[in-house]
Amino acid sequence: MIPKRRKPLSNFQIVCIILMWAILMTIIISGTPTLDGPVILSLIIATLLVFIPVYKALSRRNK
């Protein structure tokens, strides 16, 4: 079975993803009394999960 290629992300989708990420980070940071290890780790993982696909979509667009 040949895997299908996904459609590239549009500018609107990229902006929406980044805005939702920023809102999530604001909620997490404002909701915790202290920034300890698990919170910082979850922030880093969430950032990677958001920005790696965005970076790949932008780099494929420029090829």
* Domain count along the chain: 1
Q: Write out the residue range of the structural domain in which residue 36 sits.
A: 11-61
Evaluate whether residue 6 is within a structural domain. Answer: no
Residue 39 forms part of a structural domain: yes
pTM score, whole prediction: 0.78
Q: One-letter amino acid identity for 22?
A: A
Indicate whether 26 belongs to any domain. Answer: yes
Residue 24's closest CA among 4, 49, 3?
49
Query: How high is the pLDDT of residue 3?
Result: 77
Instruction: Judge whether 4 lies within some domain.
Output: no
Whether residue 7 has pLDDT greater than 90: no
Q: Are 24 and 46 in contact (CB under 8 A)?
A: yes
Domain-located, residue 18: yes
pLDDT band at 2 (very low <50, low <70, confident <90, very high): confident
Judged by average pLDDT, the poorest of 2-6, 44-48, 54-58 is 2-6
- Contact residues for 42 (Cβ-Cβ < 8 A; gap 6+): 28
Quick check: is 5 in a domain? no
Residue type (1 letter), 58: L
- Per-residue pLDDT tens over the stretch 23-40: 999 999 999 999 899 999
